[in-house]
């Protein structure tokens, strides 16, 4: 068999070590080589880079060390970031792979790109922050909160019933909350930045006209 075909077949036999895009790319190379008997210099360059980064003995040793060191802390970090990115639409292939299979281990490159960028760092910081309003606190919505939430709650006190959930924003104060307004049956999902400590509305004082009539 042609040496290039052997290399392409070896890559396909080790598809579990490659990304979805890399597998699709190599499959297209295999098909083209069978039809034309050759690949372009650029195609060979990309293929050789994949071989070096993913299929060489050195690459597989590096991958094994990563797997051996993939502890519970890294797994939890990956889960938090995957939940965030599954909602935002970035890193979706990696995110869903992590969320759909608890035993899935992303490559070190995938993990670092998804969990060490500036947005991920903000999400992780928000996750680890202590809630400003603990469970049982009485809060109310700020004027900057979603108008649907403000209408639903009005000026009634809301009880914080949860300070845990999926973080969907990298903005400051994005810790997820679940609050229950007084007299309302269904809790409201919101973020910490949209809440403030409840203060009973002041009643309008009745104005007494003390002027002397003429």
pLDDT higher than threshold 90 for residue 1: no
Contact 179, 191 (CB under 8 A): no
The model's pLDDT over 151-162, given as tens digits with 9 standing for 90+, comes to 989 888 999 999
Average pLDDT over residues 199-204: 75
Query: What pLDDT does 118 receive?
Result: 97
Average pLDDT over residues 186-210: 80
- What interhelical angle do 3-13 and 20-36 show, nearest 10? 150
Instruction: Name the pTM for this structure.
Output: 0.78
Cα 116 from chain centroid (whole Å)? 12
Which neighbouring-strand residues pair with 138?
Answer: 159
pLDDT higher than threshold 90 for residue 214: no
């Amino acid at each position: 068999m042609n040496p290039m075909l052997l290399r392409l077949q070896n890559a396909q036999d080790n598809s579990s070590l490659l990304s979805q895009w890399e597998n699709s790319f190599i499959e297209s190379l295999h098909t083209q080589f069978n039809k034309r008997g050759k690949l372009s210099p650029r195609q060979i360059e990309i293929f050789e880079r994949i071989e070096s980064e993913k299929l060489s003995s050195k690459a597989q040793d590096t991958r094994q060390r990563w797997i051996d060191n993939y502890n519970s802390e890294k797994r939890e970090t990956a889960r938090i970031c995957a939940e965030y990115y599954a909602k935002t639409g970035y890193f979706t292939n990696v995110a869903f792979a992590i969320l759909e299979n608890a035993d899935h281990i992303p490559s070190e490159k995938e993990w670092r790109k998804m969990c060490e960028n500036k947005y991920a760092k903000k999400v992780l910081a928000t996750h680890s922050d202590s809630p400003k309003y603990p469970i049982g606190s009485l809060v109310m919505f700020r004027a900057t909160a979603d108008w649907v939430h403000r209408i639903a709650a009005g000026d009634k006190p809301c009880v914080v019933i949860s300070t845990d959930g999926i973080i969907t924003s990298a903005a400051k104060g994005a810790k997820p909350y679940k609050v229950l307004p007084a007299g309302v049956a269904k809790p409201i999902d919101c973020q910490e930045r949209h809440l403030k400590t409840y203060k009973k509305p002041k009643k309008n004082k009745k104005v007494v006209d003390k002027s002397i009539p003429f």
